[in-house]
Amino acid sequence: MIKVGIIGSTGYAGAELVRLLLGHKEAEIVWYGSRSYIDQQYASVYQNMFKLVDCTCKDDNMDALAKEADVIFTATPQGLCASLINEEILADTKIIDLSADFRLKDVSVYEEWYKIQHKAPQYIDEAVYGLCEINREDIKKARIVANPGCYTTCSILSFYPLVKEGLIDPNTIIVDAKSGTSGAGRGAKTDNLFCEVNENMKAYGVASHRHTPEIEEQLGYAAGAPVTINFTPHLVPMNRGILVTGYASLLKDVTWQDVRAVYEKYYGKEYFIRLLDEGLTAQTKWVEGSNFTDIGFKIDPRTKRIIVMGALDNLVKGAAGQAVQNMNLLFGLDEKEGLNLVPMFP
Amino acid sequence: MIKVGIIGSTGYAGAELVRLLLGHKEAEIVWYGSRSYIDQQYASVYQNMFKLVDCTCKDDNMDALAKEADVIFTATPQGLCASLINEEILADTKIIDLSADFRLKDVSVYEEWYKIQHKAPQYIDEAVYGLCEINREDIKKARIVANPGCYTTCSILSFYPLVKEGLIDPNTIIVDAKSGTSGAGRGAKTDNLFCEVNENMKAYGVASHRHTPEIEEQLGYAAGAPVTINFTPHLVPMNRGILVTGYASLLKDVTWQDVRAVYEKYYGKEYFIRLLDEGLTAQTKWVEGSNFTDIGFKIDPRTKRIIVMGALDNLVKGAAGQAVQNMNLLFGLDEKEGLNLVPMFP
Amino acid sequence: MIKVGIIGSTGYAGAELVRLLLGHKEAEIVWYGSRSYIDQQYASVYQNMFKLVDCTCKDDNMDALAKEADVIFTATPQGLCASLINEEILADTKIIDLSADFRLKDVSVYEEWYKIQHKAPQYIDEAVYGLCEINREDIKKARIVANPGCYTTCSILSFYPLVKEGLIDPNTIIVDAKSGTSGAGRGAKTDNLFCEVNENMKAYGVASHRHTPEIEEQLGYAAGAPVTINFTPHLVPMNRGILVTGYASLLKDVTWQDVRAVYEKYYGKEYFIRLLDEGLTAQTKWVEGSNFTDIGFKIDPRTKRIIVMGALDNLVKGAAGQAVQNMNLLFGLDEKEGLNLVPMFP
Amino acid sequence: MIKVGIIGSTGYAGAELVRLLLGHKEAEIVWYGSRSYIDQQYASVYQNMFKLVDCTCKDDNMDALAKEADVIFTATPQGLCASLINEEILADTKIIDLSADFRLKDVSVYEEWYKIQHKAPQYIDEAVYGLCEINREDIKKARIVANPGCYTTCSILSFYPLVKEGLIDPNTIIVDAKSGTSGAGRGAKTDNLFCEVNENMKAYGVASHRHTPEIEEQLGYAAGAPVTINFTPHLVPMNRGILVTGYASLLKDVTWQDVRAVYEKYYGKEYFIRLLDEGLTAQTKWVEGSNFTDIGFKIDPRTKRIIVMGALDNLVKGAAGQAVQNMNLLFGLDEKEGLNLVPMFP
C-alpha cells in the first residue's frame, strides 16, 4: 500500500483527494494535514466522511510527514509547497503539488503573475508538469509533479493537438472559460456567499488571471514558439465543472473529419479524454464526479475559425483526479486505479 | 456474473441503476429497456455514459428478457410491472420492482391511492417489501422484491425504532419531507422546468400523496396496530436528496442517550445507516451520490415531542442503490458490493 | 417628504429597504448607515444601485441621525438598537427596529433566548409589535415599532385566525419552515458559501430557534392563554422566500369553506394577504419581490388536522417591506405606497 | 390610457410584459392573448398575478384585437406576426413584434436562418429595428417596431460605439454569450427540465444561432460595411440574465480613458445604459429585474484586444422592457414610464 499524506486536506481539492483515495485499492491516507483544523476530527469538517474517515487533522509538518508517506499531495495556497520543500524531504518521498509553485519554468513569470517570491527555484527545472496525457513518460520518473490548474488542464487539452499540428494560428486563441464555484475554494469570502453567486454570472481576472501564462507556456511547447492568448474565466452558479469555449483562426482549409483525425492521433487511446461525435457539445454535467475531459469542436466556414469546447470536473481532472492519475504513474500502477468514476447524472 | 435487465432504463432511477451497476463486480447489464428510445444508443440519451455503455435501447418485452436475465429491475410507472409479470417469468428470473405495484399488501388501498386496477394481485402476498435493514432475511428468499419509495425509505427508517419500541405515539407522527427534483422524473412537464422549480419551494400532494399508505403500513407492522400519519412532500430546487423532518409525541420521559440506545439497537450494525452525534443535523449533501441514510434527532422538553431528521439520496438509497442492495441480498453477495460510494461534496 | 435614516443599510434587509424606498414617493433616504463601509460609496457595496444612489456610507451615530431623520430604520444585529435608543432620540424621530430588541414583552424571555442583556427594557412596554394586519391601529400611534421577524410574520399570519377563533388546539401547532439563504445575512461564513448551501437542505436551530418565543407570544395573545409550539427552520438553496408548512389539530368538525370564512373575516380586506383558492398551494416564487403573503390550507379528515401553508418574501413582507408598511402607517400615508410591487416570475 | 393587447401573453416574455405594464401609468392591458390557455384565468397560469389580474385569456385574433387596442405586442414564435399582419390592422393599431419577423432587412437571410417563408415581406422595409438607444427617432414614427432579440441587444449595445468609431476591426469580433434559462421559453422540453439545466453548463447553436445575422446586420450599419462575427450562446443555470463577453482586435493604440470617452459619446446621456467604472465587471445580478444594460471593458495590451462585457436582464431590456420603452417612444411618453425598476439583489 502506498502511504499518502495530504497537506491542505480540508480545502475542496484536498477533500476530493480524500474522496478518491478512499476508493483506491493501492493507497491509504496516513496524514490529513490541515492547519485550520488541527486535532479536530476530519469528519467533523466534512460530514460526508462520517464513519468513513476516523482521523484527526494534523499540521503541515512536511519533514515529519515525509518520513511516513511515500507521496505527499500539497493542496495548499501558492508559495507553501516551495517554502517547505528540501532535499531531505525529496529523499524520502515524492511530491505532487496542486498549487502553482512548480508549474511555470520561468521563475520571473511566476513572480510577476503571483506577486510572491519563489522560495525554491532550484527545483523548478526538475519538476514535471503533470498533464498526464501529454507528459506521461516524464511524470513516471519525476520526484516533483506540478499538478496543472483546472482551467489550464481543460484549455490545454482542448487546443493541444490543433497547435501541435499547426492547424491554427496559436496567437489567435481566445479561451472563454466558465467554472463552478468550488474552484474559488472554501474560504469565507462575501463574494462566494450563496446569495452573491446564485442567479448571477460574471467574468473575473479579465486579461490578468494567473492561469494565463501556464496555458501559454504549455501551448508554446506545442507550437515551438511563444504563444500569447486571451483567457477569460467566469464564475457560474454551480458547484463543479469547467467549460472551455475556445476560438482560433484556422490556417488550413480543413473538414470536421480532418480535425477529428488530428484529435484521434493524440487522444485516440486516452481513456480519460472522450472525443465527442459531430454535432454534440461538451457539457459539464456529463463529466461531473469523473476524471473525464469531453472535447468537441465546430468549424465555422463563415469566419474560418474553429470553436473548441472542452468540459471537465474542476475538482477531479482539474485537481484531485489528475493528481491521483499522476500518483498512479509515479508508482507504476494502472493509470485508472481509483479513477473508475462514472459521471453522476443528474 | 449476474445478468441484469432493466426495464425503464432511461428514467432517472433507471439511469442511476446503470451508473451503480457499471461499478458492480458481479453483475453485468444485458438489457437496456426503454420504450421511448428503442434502437437508440443508450449513451445518446445519457451522454455521461459515452464510451462507458455501448448498447442500444430495447423494448420492454419481459418474457424475452426473463430468458436472458437473472434479475429484472422494473423502473417503470405504476401498473406496468403488475401487468407483465407471470409465473413463467418468475420461473426464469427474479424481479425487483421499483414501482409501487407490490408495496402495499391491501390491494384496495393500492387501487384507492393509485387509481388503477391491480393486474396481478395474486403476487402481492409473496412479494417482500425491500427495506433491507428491516426485512433482510425475507428478502434473501424472495422472487419478487417491492423496492420501497424514496420518501418512504427515509420516513420509515427515521421512525421505525421509535415506533417498534413504543417510545412515541405513532398516530402523532407528522412527516414533513423535502425532495430534490429528480424525484419528479424526466418527463417533460412545465412544472418541472428549470425556471419553475429554481428559486421556488412548494408543498404538493398535501394529505394525499401516494407514499402515505406505504409509510403507514410499514410503521403499522412496527406498532402492531394501524397507524395514521400526516405526510407532506415538498419540491426543493436541487437535483438530489430527501430530507425528512418528522415530529411525534414522546410517550416516555427519555434522554437523548436513551433514544440513541434504541436507534443503536436496530441500526448499530447497519453500514448504510449513520446515526449522527448529538447536536448534528442530517443534510442531504452529506449523503449525495451514496447509499447512506443519515439520522439524527432532538428532544424538545418544552413540547415533549421528538424531532427526527433523516437524509438520503433519493436516487440511491431511495431507489437504485437500495435496489442493488436487494439484488446483493437475493444472490448472496456482499451487501455493499457496488455500493461503496463515498458521498460527493460539494 | 419623510426623511429616512437607515442604520445597517449594507446588510441584505438594509439593502432591500433602499430598493423599496427608492420607489417611494413620499420618502427620501438621508443617511446610509454602515459601520463596515464608512465613507465608501453605497453603490460600490451594492452595484445594483450604481447610478441610482450617489451617497457614501456613514457610521451609526443615532443621536446625530435623529436630528436629521423623521424615522430611523435599524436593520442591525440584536442589541444594537436597545443600546443606542434614548428619550432625546425619541423626541426627534420614530424608530422602526428590524432587530428583535423590542419584539418580546417579557425581558427575561428575550435574555434567555438571545443570550444578551437588554439595554433599554424601559421601552419594551410602549413598543408596538409591527405586524400591520393585526396591530394596525396601535402602530399608527407608536414611537417605536418592533418589526417582526421573517419566519414569525409568515407563521403568525398563517395561524392567527385559526387560533383567534378557537378552531385549533394551539398547543398542537407545529411550524415546519423553509427559508431562502438571504435570511442568513451577508456575513462571510463558511456555512453560507455557495458550495455549502447549493444542492443541500438542512434543518437548523431545531427546538431552539429565537423566533419561537416570538411566535408563541403573539399566538398566545390570540389564544388568550400561553401557547407552546414546535418551530423548525430549514435552509433552502434559493435566494429569497419563506414557506411555512404548519400543522395543528382541529377542535371542530369544519369544512374547507368554514375555515375559509374564518380567514376571510380577518384578512378579507387585507391587500397584502392573498387567500388562495381551494386546491392551490402557496409557493415562494409567486410572491418574490413583493409584499404579499399567500396563504392556503388543506383539511385532512384522516388525522383531523389542518395543514396551513404560507409564503412570503423574507426580505420584503418578512423585513423591509413590512417596515415600509409600518412607516406608511406611522405617517398616515397610503399603506401601499412604495409597495405596489408585482411579484417577479420567473 | 393607451390600450394594449398582448398576443402570446403566457410565455415568459409575455408574462414580463404584463408585470411591467401593471406598473405603467399610461397603459392598460385589454387583451391577454394565449392560444394555449383560451378562456382560462390569466392568474391561474401565472399565480404571481393572483388578485392583480382578473382576466381570462383570449385567442390571437389580431383583426378583432386591432379594433380594441392602440398597440399590439406579439410575443409569439417566429412567423406568426408576419402571417397575421395586414394593412387594415396597421390602420387601426401599432405593432411591436418581439419575434424575429421584421428584424432582418434581407428576407433571404431571414428565410435561410429561420427556415420558414416570410409571409409579409412587404412590411420589412418600413419596420424599424427597435433598439431604442440607436434608432430612437425612427422608432417614434414607426407603425411596426421589430423589437430586438435578447442576445442581440446586449451584443450590439456592447460593441456599437467601438464599431461606429472604427476602434476595432469588426470582423475580429467574437461574442461569447451566456443566458439564463428563461430565454429558452416555457415550452415543456426535456432539455429545459430543472435536473438537466441545474449544475450544468453548455454551449448551443454554435456557429449557427439565429441571432448571429441580426447582430451582424446592425453592426454592419455601424461599420458601413458587411460584418461577419462569431457568436456562441451558452445556457446557464439561472433564471434571468444575459452576460456578453466580447473580444475584438483594436485598430488603434488607445487607453481605457480613450475608449471610455467613445462610449460616453454614444451612451453618456442614456438612462438605461450604465457605463461601469474602470476595473469593474458587468454581472447579471446587478441588473436583474430592471431595464438597465451594464457595460464595462478591459484592454489587453499583450494581445492588443479589447474585452467588452455587457449584462442585461433578458426578459426586461432583452424583451419586454425594451418593448415598453419602444411603446413609450411610439406614443410620445416619458421613455422611462413603467421602467423605473430598481434591480433586485439578492
Buried (b) or exposed (e) across B309-337, using 16+ Cβ within 10 A? Answer: bbbbbbbbbbbbbbbbbbbbbbeebebeb
Rounded Cα–Cα distance for residues A15 and A23 (Å): 13
Report pLDDT for D189: 97
How much is the mean pLDDT over chain A?
Answer: 97
Tell me which H or E stretch contains C103: none
Mean pLDDT of D185-203: 97
How much is the mean pLDDT over chain C?
Answer: 97
pLDDT above 90 coverage of chain D, percent: 100
Q: Which residues pair with D7 in a beta bridge?
A: D33, D74
Rounded Cα–Cα distance for residues D177 and C170 (Å): 54
DSSP state of C46: S
Amino acid (one-letter) located at D28: E
Interface chains of chain A (3 or more CB pairs under 8 Å): B, C, D
Tell me which H or E stretch contains B214: helix B211-223
Q: What is the pLDDT of residues C246-282, one digit of tens each?
A: 999 999 999 999 999 999 999 999 999 999 999 999 9
Q: Is the ipTM of this complex over 0.90?
A: yes
CA dihedral A49, A50, A54, A57 (to 10 degrees): 60
Q: What is the pLDDT of residues C195-251, one digit of tens each?
A: 999 999 999 999 999 999 999 999 999 999 999 999 999 999 999 999 999 999 999
Q: In chain A, whose CA is at the least distance from the CA of C240?
A: A195
Interface test with D, best of A113, A179, A190, A199 (most D CBs within 10 A): A199
Interface chains of chain B (3 or more CB pairs under 8 Å): A, C, D
A240 touches chain B (CB under 8 A): yes
Number of Cα atoms under 13 Å in the Cβ half of residue D15 = 24
Q: What is the pLDDT of residues C78-128, one digit of tens each?
A: 999 999 999 999 999 999 999 999 999 999 999 999 999 999 999 999 999
**Using an 8 Å Cβ cutoff, are D26 and D333 in contact?**
yes
Mean pLDDT of A262-284: 98
Mean pLDDT of B305-326: 98
Q: In chain B, whose CA is at the least distance from the CA of A289?
A: B344
* Three-state secondary-structure class, residue D109: helix
Q: Which residues of B are catalytic?
A: 150
Confidence of residue D108 (pLDDT cuts 50, 70, 90): very high
Mean pLDDT of A286-315: 98
CB contact under 8 A, A48 and B287: yes
C276 touches chain D (CB under 8 A): yes
D25 touches chain B (CB under 8 A): no
The candidate with the shortest Cα–Cα distance to D99, out of D69, D63, D73, D133, is D73
Q: What is the pLDDT of residues B127-146, one digit of tens each?
A: 999 999 999 999 999 999 99
Rounded Cα–Cα distance for residues B220 and B226 (Å): 5
Q: What is the pLDDT of residues B18-59, one digit of tens each?
A: 999 999 999 999 999 999 999 999 999 999 999 999 999 999
Number of Cα atoms under 13 Å in the Cβ half of residue B141 = 4
Number of other CB atoms surrounding residue B173 within 10 Å: 27
Buried (b) or exposed (e) across B103-140, using 16+ Cβ within 10 A? Answer: bbeeeeebeebbeeebebeebbeebbbbbbbbbbeebe
Rounded Cα–Cα distance for residues D179 and D237 (Å): 9
Q: Are strands C230-235 and C174-179 parallel, antiparallel or unpaired?
A: parallel
The candidate with the shortest Cα–Cα distance to C202, out of C211, C216, C192, is C192
CA dihedral C279, C282, C287, C293 (to 10 degrees): 100
Rounded Cα–Cα distance for residues A310 and A276 (Å): 10
**C-alpha grid cell for residue C91?**
423626541
Q: In chain A, whose CA is at the least distance from the CA of C193?
A: A193
CB contact under 8 A, D240 and C182: no
How much is the mean pLDDT over chain D?
Answer: 97
Mean pLDDT of D339-346: 97
Report pLDDT for C51: 98
**CB contact set of A115 (below 8 Å; sequence gap of 6+):** none
CA-based radius of gyration for chain C: 20
Mean pLDDT of D181-201: 97
* Closest approach of A104 to chain B, Cα-based (Å): 29
**Measured over all CA atoms, what is the biggest interatomic distance in chain B, rounded to whole angstroms?**
62
The candidate with the shortest Cα–Cα distance to B325, out of B145, B151, B184, is B145
Report pLDDT for D195: 98
* Closest approach of D273 to chain C, Cα-based (Å): 10
Report pLDDT for B262: 98
Number of Cα atoms under 13 Å in the Cβ half of residue B16 = 31
Confidence of residue B242 (pLDDT cuts 50, 70, 90): very high
Cα-based angle A231, A235, A239 (whole degrees, multiple of 5): 125
Confidence of residue A201 (pLDDT cuts 50, 70, 90): very high
B179 touches chain C (CB under 8 A): no
A288 touches chain D (CB under 8 A): yes
> Is the bond into B121 cis (omega within 30 degrees of 0)?
no
Mean pLDDT of B65-74: 97
Report pLDDT for D315: 98
CB contact under 8 A, A198 and C238: yes
Q: In chain D, whose CA is at the least distance from the CA of A177?
A: D176
Q: In chain A, whose CA is at the least distance from the CA of B180?
A: A346
Interface test with A, best of C36, C45, C194 (most A CBs within 10 A): C194
Amino acid (one-letter) located at D216: E
End-to-end CA distance of chain B: 34
**What residues of D are in contact with residue C276 (Cβ under 8 Å)?**
50
Mean pLDDT of B153-181: 98
Report pLDDT for B322: 98
B81 touches chain D (CB under 8 A): no
Catalytic one of C57, C81, C150, C154: C150
C281 touches chain B (CB under 8 A): yes
Rounded Cα–Cα distance for residues C26 and A36 (Å): 51
A158 touches chain D (CB under 8 A): no
A61 touches chain D (CB under 8 A): no
**Using an 8 Å Cβ cutoff, are B250 and B299 in contact?**
yes
**C-alpha grid cell for residue A247?**
476560438
CB contact under 8 A, A245 and D305: no
Report pLDDT for D142: 98
Report pLDDT for A203: 98
Confidence of residue C172 (pLDDT cuts 50, 70, 90): very high
> Is the bond into B170 cis (omega within 30 degrees of 0)?
no
* pTM higher than the cut 0.95: yes
Cell 392583480, residue located: D52
Mean pLDDT of A29-54: 98
Q: Which residues pair with D204 in a beta bridge?
A: none
Burial class (CB in 10 A: 0-12, 13-18, 19+), A99: buried
Interface test with A, best of D155, D181, D199, D204 (most A CBs within 10 A): D199
Cell 418592533, residue located: C146
Which candidate from D50, D199, D288 shows the least CB-CB separation from C274?
Answer: D50
* Closest approach of B303 to chain C, Cα-based (Å): 7
